Structure 1
Amino acid sequence: MPRFLVVTLGLAAVCVILLFVQGIQDIVAPIFLGLNLMIVVYPLQRALSRVMHRYLASVVSLLVVLAVLVSFVWACVWAVIELINALPQYNAQFLALWKTLTELGVQLGLDASQVNKVISEIKPNDVMGLLVPILGNLSAVGSLLATLVMATFFLAMDSSSMGSRLKLLRVVQPRALVVVSDFSNGVRRYWLVTTVFGLIVALADVAALSIIGVPLVWVWGVLSFITNYIPNIGFVIGVVPPALLALLSGGWVQALVVIAVYCVLNFVIQVIIQPKFTGESVGVTPTISFLSLLFWVFILGPLGALLALPATLLLKAFLIDSDPNARWLNLFVASSPDSALPDDEQPAPRNPRKARKDRERKALLRG
């Protein structure tokens, strides 16, 4: 078959598969998130299996994942409750701000009737109304968490035999073992590094907001930690609520100070420092990172914002890295041109131990 026809049929098949995945996103997204969590804790499970039965090690790893999920959900619920309790006292400030904005809109030439129509639809007479969309999705969140917990349970049980499966894969398809290992290492490093730097960013934001005098600093710290998992636009999502509350409680100057401090802290930590620890195994160009965010939100829904980079790594591993003829695409995907080179063209490491691992890796790739 002509190569053009092969590429066209392949792209058509990928589009059909992705549309199917989009139709069952409520199932696929939590299962893929559970898979990511089990990949992160698998080194712990493998270490425990040396001193206890492998099934018991699987149970321990499952409990670790569930503890992380419970802590994450508890922090989110606590932040929402604190926000619900605190927002009513800012109703007067919110109404005054809204009145000022509407008057400004009329002065800029907007039709007064259109402005009144917008006001009637948004109903700004109660600042608590801003939380209605969040509270209305609790049932959907509960269903997602239930699917996530069940998927994690079965993945944990299957992981008890993963070591034997990987040994057989080394014999049957050595190149596939390299691809799976690269994907697992990249996902593991991404989640660990993002979590550590998310905590650093959150604590830095809490300290800065405390100095500025913005209320609910720990609520905004939790929000900053969560939005750190969203590439590119997570910072923007995290800065809007504390800046708005600073505007209500302290005026325009305090709000501008909050925005400036967030910009400096997040730029230094997330743009300059964090990529150095993420590594080339996770690195993609900023354009690919942003496009992957838009793409996976469309395919997987809201969870796609958290899973954008791991899902992109999955496609990259199985569609590009596994095919020697497609490795040239890495030149336009990888953040570092050196990491886009085929393994046979990579310079040999100077460290003897790394050199030995490099020779073993190349032997696996050659089959």
Structure 2
Amino acid sequence: MDFSWSRGQAKVIVTSLAIIATVALVAGLKSASDFAAPVALGLVVGVVLAPVVNRLSRFGVPRSLSASLALVIAVALLILLVSALGPVLSGLAEQMPKIQREVREWLDEAVRVVRGVDSIGREIEETLSEGGEEAVKQAMPSLVDALWMAPNFAAQSLVFLGTLFFFVLTGEDIYNALPHRAGSLKLADKAVSHYFITVTAINACLGLAVFGAMALLGLPNAMLWGGAAFLLNFVLYLGPIVMLISLLIAGVMNFSGASILLPMLAYLGLNMTEAQFVTPSLVGQQLRLNPLVVFLSILFGLWLWGPIGGVVSLPVLVWAMTLMGKMSATSDKAKVFNSA
């Protein structure tokens, strides 16, 4: 039997196998998200710290000490994150009944205006009154759910910390084992490190500015809003949209008249200033990507691994594009950091 193929047939077969392998890889990463997501996060943080560790090594600092320091910093940040999320979740639980009442009033008023039938409004109100509390209970995790999630979170934290430690410890050895690509890998590491460290500093300043603006406006929990602005700004496009909607709801719940728009407008002004002027000037011209590519990569990361995927998707994209030598300046209208 003759198994010889023409060049065109061989190309089709290779392309088909590549597509099948890609789909299988994505499916595997999706099903193994509890393991793959913290590993990816550990590698990204390790790549961010790699240039700093390499510089310390040139000054005679042992790599084991640098890896231990990175581990201590990561543990401190995890503790800080857990401590910060506690008040946020408890505050959300306290606000859920109030949000439910507001939604009930809006629906009741909308039905009266559009239909002019009070009975429909009363039916909606009764439905929300009967099932609203149950919906809130289902939306918020119970104590059993929290206890069930705790071991999973602890396991993922250990996977993240172990990946980070050993990558920082042996990263130079890994690069030395790939002499053809060592220079490109280190260049990609520098690009990701420059991006992540700079954007983290910018987001921290944005969080402080949002905290100050909300405190001046008299919005409750101003510090929590500042923390939310800091975290959500890592997820480009989608994060600012979530903040705008949340601040609009907060304005409706805490203010009246035209003042309900002040929190949202204050954040919008700060975010536009950061996205249009601060970030592009500090991050640099070389880190510009097509906004569609950025948006799709973030959506893919969120679908694949949830919040962790949304955070690591753009650093991974920057790393891959730099490694392939395809990071190029685009027009001012295609800046990666433009917010929605």
Which range, TM-score by smaller chain?
Answer: 0.7 to 0.9
**Match among 25, 43, 46 for residue 51 of structure 2:** 43
Q: CA deviation at 1:158?
A: 4.4
Q: Which runs of 5+ in 1 are unaligned?
A: 322-326, 339-367
Q: Which runs of 5+ in 2 are unaligned?
A: 1-6, 333-340
| Counterpart in the other structure of 1:284 | 289
Relative to 1, partners in 2 of residues 1:98 and 1:222: Cα closer, same or farther, differing over 3 Å?
Answer: same
Relative to 1, partners in 2 of residues 1:54 and 1:95: Cα closer, same or farther, differing over 3 Å?
Answer: closer
Relative to 1, partners in 2 of residues 1:150 and 1:29: Cα closer, same or farther, differing over 3 Å?
Answer: closer
Matches within 5 A, 1:137-152: 139-140=148-149, 143-152=152-161
Q: CA deviation at 1:134?
A: 9.2
User: Aligned equivalents of 2:308 and 2:292: distance in 1?
Assistant: 20
Q: CA deviation at 1:336?
A: 2.1
User: Aligned equivalents of 1:305 and 1:122: distance in 2?
Assistant: 33
| Counterpart in the other structure of 1:214 | 219
User: In the alignment, is the contact (CA less than 8 A) between 1:182 and 1:281 conserved in 2?
Assistant: no
User: Aligned equivalents of 1:295 and 1:266: distance in 2?
Assistant: 24
Q: Deviations over 1:231-260 (max 9, x none)?
A: 111011123333322211212422211121
Relative to 1, partners in 2 of residues 1:11 and 1:277: Cα closer, same or farther, differing over 3 Å?
Answer: farther
| Counterpart in the other structure of 1:99 | 105
| Counterpart in the other structure of 1:12 | 20
Q: CA deviation at 1:266?
A: 0.5
User: In the alignment, is the contact (CA less than 8 A) between 1:186 and 1:313 conserved in 2?
Assistant: yes
Q: CA deviation at 1:180?
A: 1.7
Relative to 1, partners in 2 of residues 1:232 and 1:158: Cα closer, same or farther, differing over 3 Å?
Answer: closer
Q: CA deviation at 1:208?
A: 1.4
SS of the equivalent of 2:140 reads helix
Q: Deviations over 1:45-84 (max 9, x none)?
A: 3344443433223212211222222222222223334555
User: Aligned equivalents of 1:337 and 1:5: distance in 2?
Assistant: 38
Please tell me the residue identity of whatever aligns with 1:279: G
SS of the equivalent of 1:169 reads coil
User: Aligned equivalents of 1:95 and 1:125: distance in 2?
Assistant: 14
**Match among 61, 66, 73 for residue 57 of structure 1:** 66
Relative to 1, partners in 2 of residues 1:261 and 1:15: Cα closer, same or farther, differing over 3 Å?
Answer: same
Q: State the identity %.
A: 19
Relative to 1, partners in 2 of residues 1:151 and 1:116: Cα closer, same or farther, differing over 3 Å?
Answer: same
Q: Deviations over 1:96-147 (max 9, x none)?
A: 5622432313432495587358625760699x75961598567446524532
Relative to 1, partners in 2 of residues 1:27 and 1:161: Cα closer, same or farther, differing over 3 Å?
Answer: closer
User: Aligned equivalents of 1:297 and 1:160: distance in 2?
Assistant: 29
Relative to 1, partners in 2 of residues 1:335 and 1:286: Cα closer, same or farther, differing over 3 Å?
Answer: farther
CA RMSD of aligned residues (A): 3.3
Relative to 1, partners in 2 of residues 1:46 and 1:235: Cα closer, same or farther, differing over 3 Å?
Answer: same
User: Aligned equivalents of 1:226 and 1:83: distance in 2?
Assistant: 16
User: Aligned equivalents of 2:19 and 2:42: distance in 1?
Assistant: 28
**Match among 246, 254, 259 for residue 259 of structure 2:** 254
Query: TM-score, length-normalised on structure 2?
Result: 0.80
Please tell me the residue identity of whatever aligns with 1:159: V
User: Aligned equivalents of 2:302 and 2:50: distance in 1?
Assistant: 27
